[in-house]
């Protein structure tokens, strides 16, 4: 997948522009400061993230998916990108706690990753403070698993569902549970 912040010679007719044609997908959204974010993917062109990227490739994917590139020019920034998809089996192993993308990572489709990570952190932080302050039983810390692991799982499943969609994923199995530092 390619990402770029670009200027456009022509304003797209709609605020958000998205389409897929054949193997090409593109999404355009304005930042309001003259730049648009382009997200594009050509399913037949899965190259390493380190492969050099230029404006011509971004213009080509945009044309394939949207019919035209709206006069894309002056890329302020561009990058290749791939999405990981996996979930750690445990939010807690001994003194180690996971939250956010470390606990569950999925395609950006649906825009849930940051929100879910903040909720993990909110769930964990007051419990850590309560236990560290001697106001709660240490077993309280184990409730993060029951409360947050299903949420991360649902996000991964929902994102995978929406990625009948365009977002390419890095292949790879789920990682095994880490061993407890106590064992």
Ligand X SMILES: Cc1cc2nc3c(=O)[nH]c(=O)nc-3n(C[C@H](O)[C@H](O)[C@H](O)COP(=O)(O)OP(=O)(O)OC[C@H]3O[C@@H](n4cnc5c(N)ncnc54)[C@H](O)[C@@H]3O)c2cc1C
Cα separation, 183 vs 180, in Å, equals: 5
Nearest to 144 by CA among 115, 120, 118: 120
Quote the least distance from Cβ 72 to ligand X, whole Å: 18
Q: Is 60 or 101 the residue whose CB approaches ligand X more closely?
A: 101
What part of residues 94-123 is at the interface with ligand X (CB under 6 A)?
A: 100-102, 108, 111-115, 117
Q: Is 40 or 113 the residue whose CB approaches ligand X more closely?
A: 113
Listing DSSP states for 29-93 in one string gives: EE-SSS-EEEEEEETT----TTS---HHHHHHHHHHHHSS-TTEEEEEEEEE--B--EE-S-SEE
Quote the least distance from Cβ 152 to ligand X, whole Å: 11
Q: Is 5 or 101 the residue whose CB approaches ligand X more closely?
A: 101
User: Reduced to 3 states, what is the DSSP secondary structure of residue 98?
Assistant: coil
List Cα–Cα distances, 141 to 59, 65, 111, 152, 168, in angstroms.
Answer: 50, 48, 28, 17, 35
Quote the least distance from Cβ 118 to ligand X, whole Å: 8
17 binds ligand X (CB under 6 A): no
User: Reduced to 3 states, what is the DSSP secondary structure of residue 117?
Assistant: helix
Q: Is 27 or 70 the residue whose CB approaches ligand X more closely?
A: 27
Half-sphere exposure of 163 (CA within 13 A, CB side): 22
Number of shown-chain residues binding ligand X (CB under 6 A)? 10
Quote the least distance from Cβ 108 to ligand X, whole Å: 4
Quote the least distance from Cβ 163 to ligand X, whole Å: 13
166 binds ligand X (CB under 6 A): no
Interface residues toward ligand X, by CB under 6 A: 100-102, 108, 111-115, 117
């Amino acid at each position: 997948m390619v990402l770029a912040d670009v200027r456009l010679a022509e304003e797209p007719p709609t605020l958000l522009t998205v389409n897929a044609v054949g193997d090409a997908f593109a999404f355009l959204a304005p930042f309001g400061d003259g730049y648009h974010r382009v997200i594009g993917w050509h399913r037949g062109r899965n190259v390493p993230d380190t492969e050099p990227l230029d404006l011509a490739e971004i213009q080509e994917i945009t044309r394939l998916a949207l019919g035209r590139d709206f006069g894309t020019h002056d890329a302020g920034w561009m990058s290749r990108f791939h999405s990981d998809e996996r979930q750690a089996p445990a939010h807690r192993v001994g003194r180690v706690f996971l939250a956010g993308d470390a606990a569950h990572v999925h395609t950006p489709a649906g825009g849930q990753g940051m929100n879910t990570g903040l909720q993990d952190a909110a769930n964990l932080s007051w419990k850590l403070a309560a236990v560290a302050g001697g106001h709660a039983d240490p077993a309280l810390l184990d409730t993060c698993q029951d409360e947050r692991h299903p949420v991360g799982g649902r996000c991964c499943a929902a994102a995978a569902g929406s990625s009948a969609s365009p977002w390419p994923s890095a292949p790879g199995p789920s990682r095994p549970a880490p061993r407890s530092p106590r064992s």
